[in-house]
């Protein structure tokens, strides 16, 4: 069902977003989730494809500036956990206990709380922006979606009682057959947001089409879900199988590093939904074991990653040159927690008349994650890490084994740190692109079960992985790109639970300072004064283009179609220009960080270059930069080790 202008209350004025802790009981804005409103002033004068939705009790009061208050973040109704990780650790170069109050007030929602452990209150106040034409209104319950009964049963089995904000908004539109570009914070339920509509659509079309059609040894799946890493594909496969349990919808997975024979065998049994990494998918298509000719649903998880750097040519090949029906014929669903403008632009090639959704600010980190940044020079990092782990061990973790995920820049660094930690009495295991798949799987399993409570990882584990009980993410080496940081810390603070993220900032991370300050402020986190000084006194000498969005004091917060320079081009689509705050055309692509002289500890950059597999098929050079598209900085970057 699409909603019309008549459903919209044009009378509301745009207000600033008021963080939950600053709200009184007086309700401002809209009273319940059934009220929709345009919050930008231009919308009041007539039609606009933009809508913003309140997602909870207080509704969306509409930020005019998009800046969240940097004041305290009390969430009174929850019990505290002061000292869980404590502030007793030695802090090098930063004031001790910079965020003690925040620690004390952090909520702890245990597994056995309502709704399968998800704390929906934590999401209630997240503003959702939707743009596009004929947007379906959000739902408050899964029942409103009119899903297949088998799927509904599985949703209940999974203890999904109520949809998260991104699910409330994305699902009705996806069920209505619309293409989506959807952005929501890490751990906020994006997987189900694209899985449920796909399963439901397949079940509904069952009446007219034979399932998992097979002909001449070739299978013709109806849905393809692509993700950048093997582990993430396995996870999505597991999740999708749970949701499709006993519905007759067949789900299979194909990913590199594992024997292809087994995967082909499982495909032979028929497949409706194929979850895959791009490299292995191309392989099985070339072997003529799978055809994409009947794809009705294409979902890209971590879509910005899939269309960034090394993956984009491969994705383009799969989507445009391998028999897949074109946009408009198939339905395309793109999801991620980050979506820089330049990638949005690229992504629009794969979409048709799509709806853009953003639950929270595009690229923002969850406020459920307490972020600490500490000034630690490279030479001190190991000892500092040890102090943190000792302190954590001393403080205990509610009788549960707290899992700590430590991100480093290089595979060598991961192995070395793992070995060193183990020798120091902290059982650790490493995961990176040089490990064979079996080792990677073992490492993950050992970490998940708590057998090895410290996982040292490169960025291969930074996106999408949903590991319960990861209570602390430590950026031993910070990534160069702020979006990578957002994904890394997003391995904690998931599904409404709180988490802690500590970053070791050294002089080499100077280019990230401004972006980090912006992100911390936006997420209501304490900004150490020394970090502000880095940001202010040392101008950003490069940094990735995405990092620069903060340094310019503006956020990528919106649908790129309606950011200033694009309005002309998309005139037919929108008669209004969007007057809200967050313009950021990615017009500054100079990424000198890629050519920086950087120490060995951060050599590999966030793309785990050295993870390059021997198979040349998996190595893609991003298109050589040219003055026209401004992508000079990305020439010669090889992004591998993911698939
Ligand atoms: N409606 C719901 N009710 C209860 N639990 C949910 C619901 N939706 C998702 N979850 C759970 O929340 C967790 C996080 O979900 P998911 O992995 O889909 O997050 P995500 O947004 O894709 O995160 P990332 O950006 O890191 O990939 C999962 O354990 C999932 O089972």
As a whole number of angstroms, the distance between CA 99 and CA 107 comes to 14
Residues with CB under 6 A from ligand 1: 115-116, 118, 160, 163-164, 167, 184, 186-192, 337, 464, 466, 490, 494-495
Mean pLDDT (whole number) for 80-92: 29
Distance 119 CA to ligand 1 centre (A): 11
CA 94 to chain centre: 29
Instruction: Indicate the pTM of the whole model.
Output: 0.74
**pLDDT(635) > 90:** no
pLDDT of residue 126: 84
Kindly report the backbone phi and psi dihedral angles of residue 38, in degrees, each rounded to the nearest multiple of 5, phi listed first: -80, 130
Distance 464 CA to ligand 1 centre (A): 9
Closest C-alpha to ligand 1, atom 8? 189
Q: Which residue has the higher pLDDT, 520 or 100?
A: 520
pLDDT of residue 642: 52
pLDDT of residue 208: 53
The mean-pLDDT minimum among 246-260, 336-350, 460-474, 607-621 falls in 607-621
Distance 320 CA to ligand 1 centre (A): 30
As a whole number of angstroms, the distance between CA 117 and CA 110 comes to 6
Distance 29 CA to ligand 1 centre (A): 28
Atom in ligand 1 nearest the alpha carbon of residue 495: 12
The residue with tokens 């060995």 is 600
As a whole number of angstroms, the distance between CA 587 and CA 556 comes to 12
Distance 118 CA to ligand 1 centre (A): 9
Secondary structure (DSSP) of 117-184: G--THHHHT--EEEESSSPPPP-SSSGGG---HHHHHHHHHTT--S--HHHHHHHHHHHTT--EEEEE
Identify whether the C-beta of residue 448 lies closer than 8 Å to the C-beta of residue 214: no
pLDDT of residue 599: 25
Residues in the chain: 643
Which residues contact residue 536 at a Cβ distance below 8 angstroms, ignoring those fewer than 6 apart? none
Closest C-alpha to ligand 1, atom 4? 160
pLDDT of residue 559: 80
Q: Which residue has the higher pLDDT, 587 or 97?
A: 97
Which residue among 170, 191, 239 is best mutated to probe the pocket of ligand 1, counting the most ligand atoms within 8 A of its Cβ? 191
Atom in ligand 1 nearest the alpha carbon of residue 235: 17
Closest C-alpha to ligand 1, atom 22? 190
Mean pLDDT (whole number) for 262-269: 93
Mean pLDDT (whole number) for 598-626: 26
pLDDT digits (tens, 9 = 90+) for 399-446: 456 899 999 999 999 999 999 999 999 999 999 999 999 999 999 999
Number of C-beta neighbours around residue 555 at 10 A: 22
Distance 356 CA to ligand 1 centre (A): 20
The residue with tokens 């089409």 is 209
Tokens of 528: 């150490």
Mean pLDDT (whole number) for 77-97: 30
Distance 142 CA to ligand 1 centre (A): 15
Number of C-beta neighbours around residue 569 at 10 A: 10
Tokens of 556: 């990528």
Mean pLDDT of all residues belonging to the chain? 72
Strand-pair category, 128-131 with 50-53: antiparallel
**pLDDT(494) > 50:** yes
Percent of residues, the chain, with pLDDT higher than 90: 57
Category of 612 on φ-ψ map: left (φ > 0), alpha (ψ -120 to 50) or beta = beta
Closest C-alpha to ligand 1, atom 14? 187
pLDDT of residue 375: 97
**pLDDT(479) > 50:** yes
Closest C-alpha to ligand 1, atom 31? 189
Distance 609 CA to ligand 1 centre (A): 29
Identify whether the C-beta of residue 146 lies closer than 8 Å to the C-beta of residue 321: no
Distance 117 CA to ligand 1 centre (A): 11
**pLDDT(80) > 50:** no
Burial of 573 (0-12, 13-18, 19+ CB in 10 A): middle
Mean pLDDT (whole number) for 227-247: 97
C-alpha Rg value of the chain to the nearest Å = 23
**pLDDT(603) > 60:** no
Query: Residue 23: helix, strand or coil by DSSP?
Result: coil
pLDDT of residue 367: 85
Beta partners for residue 225, in sequence order: 275, 299
As a whole number of angstroms, the distance between CA 64 and CA 41 comes to 10
Atom in ligand 1 nearest the alpha carbon of residue 186: 25
SS3 content of the chain, % helix, strand, coil (to 5): 35, 15, 50
Which residue among 118, 162, 492 is best mutated to probe the pocket of ligand 1, counting the most ligand atoms within 8 A of its Cβ? 118
pLDDT of residue 504: 98
pLDDT of residue 310: 78
Atom in ligand 1 nearest the alpha carbon of residue 116: 4
Kindly report the backbone phi and psi dihedral angles of residue 218, in degrees, each rounded to the nearest multiple of 5, phi listed first: -100, 135
Q: Which residue has the higher pLDDT, 264 or 556?
A: 264
pLDDT of residue 598: 26
Distance 116 CA to ligand 1 centre (A): 11
Strand-pair category, 297-301 with 223-226: parallel
> Does the interface predicted TM-score (ipTM) exceed 0.85?
yes
Mean pLDDT (whole number) for 22-44: 30
pLDDT of residue 45: 32
As a whole number of angstroms, the distance between CA 458 and CA 305 comes to 15
Closest C-alpha to ligand 1, atom 10? 189
Burial of 489 (0-12, 13-18, 19+ CB in 10 A): buried
Identify whether the C-beta of residue 315 lies closer than 8 Å to the C-beta of residue 226: yes
Nearest in space to 60 (alpha carbons), one of 583, 585, 525, 580? 580
């Amino acid at each position: 069902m699409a909603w019309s202008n008549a459903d919209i209350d044009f009378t509301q004025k745009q207000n600033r977003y008021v963080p939950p802790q600053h709200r009184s009981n007086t309700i401002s804005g809209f009273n319940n989730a059934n009220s929709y409103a345009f919050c930008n002033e231009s919308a009041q004068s007539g039609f606009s494809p933009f809508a913003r939705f309140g997602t909870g009790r207080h509704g969306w009061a509409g930020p005019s500036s998009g800046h969240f208050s940097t004041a305290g973040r009390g969430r009174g109704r929850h019990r505290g956990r002061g000292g869980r990780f404590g502030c007793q650790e030695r802090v090098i170069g930063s004031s001790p206990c910079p965020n003690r109050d925040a620690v004390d007030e952090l909520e702890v929602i245990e597994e056995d709380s309502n709704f399968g452990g998800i704390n929906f209150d934590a999401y209630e106040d997240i503003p959702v922006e939707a743009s596009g034409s004929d947007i379906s209104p959000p739902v408050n319950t899964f029942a409103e979606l009119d899903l297949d009964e088998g799927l509904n049963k599985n949703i209940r089995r999974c203890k999904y009682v109520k949809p998260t904000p991104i699910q409330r908004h994305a699902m009705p539109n996806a069920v209505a057959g619309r293409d989506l570009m959807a952005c929501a914070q890490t751990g906020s339920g994006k997987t189900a947001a694209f899985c449920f509509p796909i399963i439901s659509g397949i079940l509904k079309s069952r009446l007219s089409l034979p399932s998992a059609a097979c002909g001449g040894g070739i299978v013709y799946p109806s849905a393809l879900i692509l993700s950048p890493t093997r582990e993430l594909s396995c996870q999505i496969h597991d999740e999708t199988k749970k949701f499709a349990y006993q519905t007759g919808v067949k789900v299979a997975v194909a990913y590199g590093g594992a024997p292809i024979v087994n995967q082909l065998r499982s495909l032979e049994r028929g497949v409706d939904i194929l979850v895959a990494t791009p490299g292995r998918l191309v392989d099985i298509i070339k072997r003529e074991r799978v055809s994409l000719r009947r794809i009705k649903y294409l979902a890209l998880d971590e879509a910005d990653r899939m269309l960034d750097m090394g993956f984009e040519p491969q994705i383009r090949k799969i989507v445009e040159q391998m028999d897949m029906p074109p946009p408009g014929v198939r339905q395309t669903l793109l999801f991620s927690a980050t979506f820089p403008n330049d990638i949005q632009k690229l992504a629009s090639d794969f979409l048709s008349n799509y709806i853009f959704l953003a639950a929270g600010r595009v690229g923002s980190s969850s406020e459920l994650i307490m972020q600490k940044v500490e000034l630690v020079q490279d030479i001190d990092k190991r000892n500092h890490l040890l102090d943190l782990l000792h302190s954590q061990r001393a403080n205990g973790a509610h009788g549960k084994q707290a899992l700590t995920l430590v991100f480093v820049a290089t595979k060598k660094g991961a192995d070395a740190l793992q070995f060193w930690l183990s020798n120091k009495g902290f059982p650790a295991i490493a995961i990176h692109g040089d490990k064979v798949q079996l080792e990677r799987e073992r490492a993950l399993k050992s970490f998940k079960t708590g057998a090895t409570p410290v996982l040292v990882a490169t960025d291969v584990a930074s996106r999408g992985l949903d590991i319960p009980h990861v209570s602390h993410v430590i950026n031993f080496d910070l990534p160069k790109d702020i979006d990578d940081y957002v994904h890394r810390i997003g391995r904690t603070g998931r599904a409404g639970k709180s988490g802690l993220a500590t970053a070791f900032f050294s002089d080499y991370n100077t280019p990230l300072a401004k972006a980090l300050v912006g992100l911390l402020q936006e997420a209501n986190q304490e900004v150490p004064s020394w970090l502000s000084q880095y940001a202010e006194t040392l101008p950003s000498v490069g940094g990735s283009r995405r990092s620069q969005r903060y340094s310019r004091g503006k956020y990528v917060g919106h649908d790129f179609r309606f950011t200033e320079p694009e309005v002309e081009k998309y005139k037919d689509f929108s008669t209004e220009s969007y007057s809200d705050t967050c313009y950021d055309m990615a017009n500054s692509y100079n990424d000198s960080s890629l050519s920086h002289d950087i120490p060995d500890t951060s050599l590999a950059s966030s793309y785990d270059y050295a993870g390059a597999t021997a198979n040349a098929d998996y190595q893609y050079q991003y298109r050589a930069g040219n003055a026209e598209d401004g992508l000079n900085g990305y020439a010669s970057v090889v992004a591998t080790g993911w698939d």
